[in-house]
Amino acid sequence: MNGNGFPNNGENHGGAEQANGNGHSSPERPRLFIAGTDPAAISVLLILEEANRRATHTALTGLPGVEIVGERHELRSGILLAKQRAPRILILDLPDDYDEALTAAGQYKLDAPDTALFLLSNSLDPQLLLRAIRAGAAEVLKKPLDRALLQEAVERVSRSGAARSASGPRARSIVTIFTIKGGVGSSTVAANLAVALKAHMGVDTALVDFDAQTGIAAHLLGLKAERSMSDLLRAPRIDSSTLRMNILTHPSGLSVLGQPDDLMHLEPITPAQAGAVLDAVSASHDMVVVDAPHTFDEVSLEILDRSTTILVIGDLSIASIRSARRAMELLDRLHFTDVPDRVRLIVNRSTGSRGLITLDQLAEAMQMRPYHTIQNDYRRVFTSVNSGRALCLDDPESPAAKDIIALAAKLAGKPAPAPQAEESIRRGLFARKVAR
């Protein structure tokens, strides 16, 4: 916690200095240093009104190894400059009417997850702090600026950066599959989406099962949970070494942190532990797929807070649509939808125009169109679930598998693989298993 009682969950990343859109430094104020002279320096970019900018400048000037790489007083131009210069720390002024600034900050954080976001505000009321968490802020500091608190916050970023692996930082991408209604296939979609990201998109991916009551993610992939989330929670501390000891590896190369097979071994989890698990997993994988609990509680909110993308899943039944609409309303009320495209609707078991409820009727009821649909492929999905084999590997040409692979391509920002590539993937996995 920082001196203002705000949690420190920011990430950081040493960004390279670049010129702005005109090839010149900021015309609004000279930079403190020549950017790029010290690759080890903590790069800081300021989007602040004049008085706060002077105070922040003074506070940062006394810190060794800190480099101010750009300054703006206007939000739009400041965000554009931050995208060009990729600072490790972005310090942003929040006016009393902070909606626009928080939305812009949250969107920037999604695009640059390794930048630590510091917000300066006249007030630290609970509503603002909640929305700042949703936007991904590492620190919220009260105006007038306390120099000691700012320096402590910068030092935390510095220590966090020094602790990173020598292989360099990773951009954390956490995709959470969420529903408040069971029985809509969320675990099946989560498991197959994770496999598709790893096997078909080539993305280093982990699947984390937080759904303790059902806890079938490992089973769906034919893995026996000899090590599980509960073993990790019983460890003295949750870090990369204890995580490695409790991760299962699927034949595709996917990392899986599952729930124990025996409920007697189930370990209750706290919100702080859930956050620590996600931090540890995301530090060592490019993407994390989360099978979330089917409820709004403190653990779920901790998971959702740390998610870059929330996929609300449902099917074309009245009960499911009602539950999905309630979930969307709650996510909106809790400000998760403040960042555009962070929360998306996925329709599973879609029957298109053949069902009693069409996608157009769904869109009218939800006041939004689905981001993606997965065809109803009951027989093949049922077979894959009962056999403990990933549909996206065992039967990649099935309609549901094709749709899940296409969803993985969307999330990874890659084109969907050509049909002829699917069989070669399966042959390659088979060859690896034989070689073992």
pLDDT at 251 over 80: yes
Assess if residue 1 is contained within a domain. Answer: no
Assess if residue 126 is contained within a domain. Answer: yes
Shared domain for 244 and 307, answered yes or no, is yes
pLDDT in tens, 148-181: 888 888 888 887 665 443 334 444 699 999 999 9
**Domain limits at 94?**
42-162
The predicted structure's pLDDT at residue 133: 86
Shared domain for 98 and 183, answered yes or no, is no
pLDDT at 356 over 70: yes
Shared domain for 142 and 251, answered yes or no, is no
pLDDT in tens, 10-29: 333 333 333 333 333 333 33
Shared domain for 244 and 365, answered yes or no, is yes
Assess if residue 156 is contained within a domain. Answer: yes
Assess if residue 12 is contained within a domain. Answer: no
The CATH number assigned to the domain holding 137 equals 3.40.50.2300
The predicted structure's pLDDT at residue 31: 33
Per-residue exposure over 95-110, b if at least 16 CB sit within 10 Å of its own CB, e if not: eeebeebbbbbbbbbb
Span 250-259, average pLDDT: 96
pLDDT in tens, 268-317: 999 989 988 998 898 889 999 999 999 999 899 889 988 999 999 999 99
pLDDT in tens, 411-424: 999 887 765 444 44
**Encoded tokens for 59:** 């506070």
Nearest to 210 by CA among 129, 109, 159, 281: 281
Nearest to 156 by CA among 44, 12, 273: 12
pLDDT in tens, 366-395: 999 999 999 999 999 999 999 999 999 999
Shared domain for 335 and 312, answered yes or no, is yes
Assess if residue 361 is contained within a domain. Answer: yes
pLDDT at 37 over 50: no
Q: Please provide the average confidence, as pLDDT, over all residues in the chain.
A: 83
pLDDT at 436 over 50: no
pLDDT in tens, 5-15: 344 433 333 33
Assess if residue 23 is contained within a domain. Answer: no
pLDDT in tens, 220-247: 999 998 899 999 999 998 988 899 999 9
Assess if residue 28 is contained within a domain. Answer: no
Shared domain for 137 and 225, answered yes or no, is no
What is the reported pTM? 0.69
Is pLDDT larger for residue 49 or for residue 16?
A: 49
Overall number of domains in the chain: 2
Q: Which of 139, 162, 185 is the last residue of a domain?
A: 162
Dist. CA 80–CA 110, nearest whole Å:
14
Q: Which of 117, 134, 162 is the last residue of a domain?
A: 162
Cβ-Cβ contacts under 8 Å for 85 (sequence gap 6 or more): 15, 17, 18, 20, 35, 43, 45, 69, 70
The CATH number assigned to the domain holding 237 equals 3.40.50.300
Assess if residue 8 is contained within a domain. Answer: no
High-pLDDT (> 70) share of the chain, %: 83
Shared domain for 145 and 60, answered yes or no, is yes
Report yes or no: 127 and 102 within 8 Å, Cβ to Cβ. Answer: no
Per-residue CA distances from 96 to 100, 101, 104, 129, 309 (Å): 11, 10, 15, 13, 28
